[in-house]
A and B are shown apart, each in its own frame.
Chain A
């Protein structure tokens, strides 16, 4: 086994493993990419019912209603459009009216978004970046979300 042969084997092996990895990645990308949409995007792009997407925006003040058996309904808005969301389960600690939220799930034919996951993704200002961008695009961005998050609760969310 000469140096050259050995090097060729090594390089061949390396390329082989990389090819396998690329194939795995492409396969995974096909299945598991989820697009983020604001309520305006959902209306504009005519997202089909059943397509799995992420929906983000602000929780509309006064829209949270809790039902039996851990079911909850609320509306997600970006100032221009809003979409009703239904979810069953425990909400994250940081879920609050007037704050940003990202939900993952699919629209049903009647226009309600059935969420199976509510995400608590945020930074120090409790505003997911995608939601902030969506709000800025719709012209309803107010710069005081950080202060609002830090202020004492007015008792809206029980």
Chain B
């Protein structure tokens, strides 16, 4: 009964989305306030029914109802409760349901929190949100129904892929989807502004928190996925330029550009047309990411094996929404009035610079990801574009961006003094030069570019601190006065500083691991030792261990310093799952400060030896620490006072419905 209820609820949600997508637009065209005000309650109702559908699927999974095909294929009653829950989104159908759930959720949030929005804008925005929802509800109901039943219910399910039975799965997809789908709000508002034909700084002020929230979730989602891949896949890599990873990076890059562009629009009313284009592009990239993962055009560890029907449907959705949005943009953008003037050397100029490089970097990732697909479609040749391509295109574009980043906050609006900003950054530059020299001296024999990268990272971090120091007049007034100023600083200033600092930290981690990491791949027998960096690891023993649905082969290693001093024990395992005939590596990690020793076992050799991969990852944790700092910066910015103190609303008489006689 419950799956049918869920199915029916989804159909009702589709109906509501269709209503939500048409009536308010009619209302804006005819100026009917009643029709326009229909949007908000309909959005909330739609969310209610989608939530019902999601809850129904959740109940099926948690109670292990194997008469539902989706549950049978992806779950197993022996799995721990948390994994039974998270396997809802470990497959195509369930994750699509999560997608529309979050989409409807955001629509409802706009409906509930958008009390002081102009009626026309709100109606249009919620209507566009409903179009997206309706398209995906239709997609789910016609091609990816999670509620299909099996006539004779099997006793046991097929089990979730063991790699996915991990806390990472509980966190990574929902967080990522919050980010992807959060971008839809900016898209809806951009289309609404184009439909209406007018836009102003208040629009930017309203949209920015949503973009910020989506950006925060996307940052954490990408970082979470990177960390999960790092410890789960056994190779110690944190980014593979996999097409699906790129599909998440592109909206992040465009979203970062959108965030900064919206700042200019909010403060100075400039860059309106560009901001709208970015809002459209960010969500378009997010939709393209959905297509790449689910259509079967890509081979990737992330890709869901799907049939071509789904691919064609999503492609149709892409063409309609992206093509339609860009066409609308081309047609209506000239209507929007120009904003404030500014000199090229100014904070606006720096933000335009930022946008330029971010979008160009995004474009290179886009080309690198889609070029193989295009080539295969055109010529039939199968090629692969890998890390060398991205490293030689993405890297050089990011460097100017990072170098200019500390200058931005220090320059004034409209007309900035570059020389004065440079003077203020002298200390930061000195610190960076020191770091470069130190890096060069300490790690001799590493790549030449590594100290350079470390220098840029330190420059960025010191630049963020300089920004705060300037705002609090640190060292120029008594410390107490500085402290007072610091407490009184708007939270968005703290947010900026934290977020920029976070990028520097992440960059430092990436440079350190890439340039100064060490790797040993050898075959060991019990009693052998292995040296790396200044550690010595000895294989003490190999033994077996059993878990609830797996069987482990464990290697016990003792870790010592070179002088013999005992540090700890590491136990990497090779885990096999009998009912899936699959073996995975569970690496052992030992954290030493921000660095890690990474140890994983390979295949046992015929003579009883075992293959061992040992990595030393210096400062690797900084990569994800930086992402967490960026998230905190975003949160600080989100809690800024100006977002809690809204614009005063004029008192207005409520539209009173005349009772029919």
Contact = CB atoms under 8 A, between A and B. Distances in A.
Indicate, yes or no, whether A interacts with B. yes
Interface stretch (B106-114, B250-258, B297-305, B430-438): B297-305
A50 interface: no
A151 B602 contact: no
Contact of B299 (A93, A129, A158): A129
Nearest to A21: B360
Contact of B383 (A33, A70, A124): A33
Contacts of A66: 603, 605-606
Interface in A1-43: 1, 3, 6, 9-10, 13-14, 17-18, 20-21, 24-25, 27-29, 31-36
A152 interface: yes
A93 B300 CA distance: 15
Interface string B576-603: 0011111111000000000000000011
Contact of A33 (B300, B385, B613): B385
A9 B356 contact: no
A111 interface: no
Contacts of A152: 578-579, 581
A70 B523 contact: yes
Interface string B314-358: 000000000000000000000000100111100000001100110
The interface residues of chain B, by DSSP majority, are classed as mixed
A107 B396 CA distance: 33
A21 to B, nearest CB: 5
Interface string A120-156: 1111110011100100000000000010011111000
Interface in B386-431: 386, 388-389, 392-393, 396-397
Contact of A14 (B161, B304, B356): B356
Contacts of B213: none
Interface string B369-386: 001000000000111111
A60 interface: no
Given A14-B356, A21-B363, A124 B301 contact: no
A69 B609 CA distance: 10
Interface residues of B, number: 57
A126 to B, nearest CB: 9
B363 A129 contact: no
B316 to A, nearest CB: 22
Interface string A35-62: 1100000000000000000100000000
B364 A25 contact: yes
Q: Which of A24, A54, A153 has the most CB of B within 10 A?
A: A24
A18 B360 contact: yes
A54 B386 CA distance: 12
B383 A34 contact: yes
Contacts of A151: 581
B386 A93 contact: no
A33 to B, nearest CB: 5
A21 B393 contact: yes
A9 B371 CA distance: 31
A21 B364 contact: yes
Contacts of A125: 305
Interface of B: 158, 161, 234, 296, 298-301, 303-305, 338, 341-344, 352-353, 356-357, 360-361, 363-364, 367-368, 371, 381-386, 388-389, 392-393, 396-397, 521-523, 578-585, 602-606, 611, 613
Interface of A: 1, 3, 6, 9-10, 13-14, 17-18, 20-21, 24-25, 27-29, 31-36, 54, 66, 68-70, 89-91, 93-94, 120-125, 128-130, 133, 146, 149-153, 158
Given A17-B397, A66-B605, 4 more contacts: A21-B397, A29-B385, A90-B521, A90-B611
22 contacts: A6-B343, A13-B344, A17-B357, A18-B360, A20-B360, A21-B361, A21-B393, A25-B389, A28-B368, A31-B392, A36-B381, A36-B382, A90-B602, A121-B300, A121-B301, A123-B305, A130-B382, A146-B305, A151-B581, A152-B579, A152-B581, A153-B581
